[in-house]
Structure 1
Amino acid sequence: MNRSIVFDSPFLLGFDHTRSLIERAAKAAAESYPPYNVEDRGDGALRITLAVAGFTPDQLHVTVEDRQLIVAGKREGAGEEAYLHRGIAARGFIRNFVLADGMMVEGALLEHGLLHIDLTRPEPERLVQRIPIRTGG
């Protein structure tokens, strides 16, 4: 089924932003560098681990903007070393993850060439709202 047909349903009111989130997620899924894992740590907690060997904490940036987690790495001043074989990537990158409502980034840790980003989703309060019915006339 075509995505636009799904979002044009008269029963899905106010979900225009969902279409753009899905499009952002599809674009992010097409990226392949650096490789990463997403681990379910239970109780709504997740850990994203990116392989960022050779990057220092100063060369990495983790930000959240408009419900999107952005991880960027940029190396400054590439050296003029002479390589017989270069298999370790030295290029910069930007990796995006679309976050659901309520997802919070708890922190980031760089160890042994792996960048760990911990996320949680606190249990939302259950809200029941009674709507008063007015009479006409």
Structure 2
Amino acid sequence: MRYDWTPLWRSTIGFDRLFDVLDEVQRTADETYPPYNIERVDENRFQISVALAGFSSYEVALTVEQNVLTLEGRKGEKDEKTFLHRGISTRSFKRQFTLADHVEVKGARFENGLLLIELQREIPEAMKPRRIAITGAGPGKVSQIEAKAA
């Protein structure tokens, strides 16, 4: 079931990104492989941990294009092994993450069967909040607009 967020657009300002994210979550709700975590390391650093047991670094591709981080995995040659039970999935996959503005991928590494992707938000100086001086009549000063008697 899909929800239409259009009525909420009329009464909100600056929350358009929130509705885009909600729509994205709704679209990808059925995608469950490979499992992953997203962790906030500190205010401007994040880490995505993806469980990739059975994959090696040359079987995984990580790309970033226009605020979309794409992770693709494709197993190389097929094993000629006979399995009595196969619980570790090695199927091909493609998972995409939408990155917020000014978030950059700083690196990726395999560690204990997890692919760890390091992200950092780097807000340009021009985008950071700054205090604006307000000029005008100070306290105790009263200015009067000139008016002519009718």
Partner of 1:24: 24
Are 1:28 and 1:97, in contact at CA under 8 Å, matched by a contact in 2? no
Q: Report deviation, 1:94.
A: 1.1
Partner of 1:98: 98
Percent same amino acid among aligned pairs?
Answer: 34
CA 1:42/1:29 → structure 2, altered by over 3 Å: closer, same or farther?
farther
Q: Normalising by the residue count of structure 2, what TM-score does the alignment of the two structures yield?
A: 0.71
How far apart, CA to CA, are the structure 2 residues paired with 1:81 and 1:114? Answer: 24
1:5 aligns with 2:42: no
Q: Normalising by the residue count of structure 1, what TM-score does the alignment of the two structures yield?
A: 0.77
Partner of 2:79: 79
1:96 alignment partner, SS class? strand
Q: Report deviation, 1:2.
A: 4.0
How far apart, CA to CA, are the structure 2 residues paired with 1:48 and 1:68? Answer: 14
- Note the residue ranges of structure 2 that are not aligned, 5 or more in a row: 131-150
**Residues 36-83 of structure 1, C-alpha deviations (whole Å, 9 max, x = no match):** 111110031000000101111110011112211111110022223111
Are 1:103 and 1:121, in contact at CA under 8 Å, matched by a contact in 2? yes
Q: Report deviation, 1:28.
A: 3.1
1:64 alignment partner, SS class? strand
How far apart, CA to CA, are the structure 2 residues paired with 1:27 and 1:67? Answer: 17
Are 1:25 and 1:97, in contact at CA under 8 Å, matched by a contact in 2? no
Partner of 2:145: none
How far apart, CA to CA, are the structure 1 residues paired with 2:119 and 2:30? Answer: 22
CA 1:70/1:107 → structure 2, altered by over 3 Å: closer, same or farther?
same
2:64 alignment partner, SS class? strand
**RCO greater where, 1 or 2, for CA within 8 Å and sep 6 or more?**
1
Which protein shows a greater Rg?
2
Q: Counterpart amino acid of 2:59?
A: Q
CA 1:11/1:3 → structure 2, altered by over 3 Å: closer, same or farther?
closer
How far apart, CA to CA, are the structure 2 residues paired with 1:34 and 1:61? Answer: 14
CA 1:83/1:55 → structure 2, altered by over 3 Å: closer, same or farther?
same
